[in-house]
Amino acid sequence: MQVVANREALKNRFFLTIFNNLTNYSVFLHSFHNRLTSL
């Protein structure tokens, strides 16, 4: 049972990392777009 729990925790952490990276990426794109339109 412990191995299954560890695998689930790893998967959750993996998805959390991807989600955080996507959020940071969209924020970066948004600020980049704002900088372009303000030129």
pLDDT tens digits, 4-35: 899 999 999 999 999 999 999 999 999 999 99
pLDDT at 2: 84
Around 39, how many Cα atoms within 13 Å sit in the side-chain half-sphere? 6
Please give the residue range of the domain that contains residue 29: 1-39
pLDDT at 8: 95
Supply the pTM of this predicted model: 0.61
| 27 phi, psi to nearest 5 deg | -65, -40
How far apart are alpha carbons 14 and 35 in whole angstroms? 32
**What is the rounded end-to-end Cα distance, in angstroms, of the chain?**
58
- What does the chain come to in residues? 39
Question: Residue 1 pLDDT more than 80?
Answer: no
| Structural domain count of the chain | 1
| 10 phi, psi to nearest 5 deg | -65, -45
Tokens 């303000």 -> residue = 38
pLDDT band at 39 (very low <50, low <70, confident <90, very high): confident
